[in-house]
Structure 1
């Protein structure tokens, strides 16, 4: 077997990020009696994605993201002055309860384990939250190791998070493959570190960074086919 270990991202790779964000945002706004229109929700999504890109580029820290996300957004869009960190913590409490799996996830995890792969997680997120969501989703026990940026104190694609990860697993990078949706975080991170990746491009985004995952799939069924063919071209 060419590869022995598969690293999975969490958000929008295992757990549906769109459904999670929708759940958390609606609960937050309802709790405060703020009006959440479809246009405002779309504005938040675009704004939030931009902040996460800044985090991945090292332009802001996770702590800064936590402080500014809602303080800036609510001020700009609703004219509200809020304690940004307090609102973010409330939002994350809702976010941490959402755990809708993307189609085909559990079948693929069962197949990969049956085929002898060691399954692990590397996520830009909080340790307790991500562990809790994976447990709620019923898939936590599939993974031998779960590592988050919170405990590593650095986010993907920074090579130091991969140093931290590989210091805790016995499988070398050349025997490891990363399966993730994040072009900027997962695929770039793996490529810069020098190991293989599969881009789970279920949102049908363009490869604007000219990266070179060994495969690109848009469904877990396609990933199953790759696993059955020993992750080899066919």
Structure 2
């Protein structure tokens, strides 16, 4: 067996992030009787992604992101002054309820476990919320280890989150492969740390960092085929 451990990202790798974000945002706006248009929802998505990129680059920390997200977005777009942290807590209460799996996830996890791979999660996110979503989705028990940036104190692609992860497992980087959709978090982080990765590029994004993951796939059937071939090139 070429690898013993497969690490999975959560958002937009296991669980559909777009569906989750839409559910949470609609719930928050409905609770406050604010009008949520399609254009405003798209604007929020772009704005939120920008904040997460800043977090990954070390420009802001998790608490700053939590405070800024809705304080700034609601003020700039609705002209209202809100408590950013309270609004984020409310948003996360909706976010934690959404758990739509991407196609092929459960069958792939079952196949991997049947073939004796140890499965783990490494997510930029909140400890309780990510575990809750994995449990609601019915896949939490597939994973021997679940680590989030909140408990590690660092976010992908920072090498310190990988230091923390590997301190919690008896399987080292050279027997581990990372499967994730985040080019600038998952793939860059694994590359910098010196272990292999598979880019789950189901959104068909451009590899503007010119990274070289071991494989690039856009569906889970391709990952199963790669496992059947012991992660060798076809």
Q: Using the alignment, how far apart are the partners of 1:82 and 1:118 within structure 2?
A: 44
Q: Provide the residue aligned with 1:94 in structure 2.
A: 94
> Residue by residue, what CA displacement relative to the aligned partner does 1:14-69 show, whole Å, maximum 9, x if unpaired?
00000000000000000000000000000000000000000000000000000000
TM-score with structure 2 setting the length: 0.99
> Residue by residue, what CA displacement relative to the aligned partner does 1:194-231 show, whole Å, maximum 9, x if unpaired?
00000000000000011110000000011111111111
Q: Provide the residue aligned with 1:59 in structure 2.
A: 59
**TM superposition shift of 1:116:** 1.1
Unaligned runs of 5+ residues in structure 2 are none
Q: Would you say 1:171 and 2:171 are equivalent positions?
A: yes
Q: Provide the residue aligned with 2:40 in structure 1.
A: 40
SS at match of 1:163: helix
Q: Provide the residue aligned with 1:68 in structure 2.
A: 68
Unaligned runs of 5+ residues in structure 1 are none
CA RMSD in angstroms, aligned pairs only: 0.4
> What are the within-5 Å matches in structure 2 for residues 172-211 of structure 1?
172-211=172-211
Q: Would you say 1:111 and 2:111 are equivalent positions?
A: yes
Runs of 4+ off more than 3 Å: none
Q: Provide the residue aligned with 1:25 in structure 2.
A: 25
Q: Provide the residue aligned with 2:214 in structure 1.
A: 214
TM-score with structure 1 setting the length: 0.99
> What are the within-5 Å matches in structure 2 for residues 94-173 of structure 1?
94-173=94-173
SS at match of 1:202: coil
Q: Using the alignment, how far apart are the partners of 2:36 and 2:155 within structure 1?
A: 30
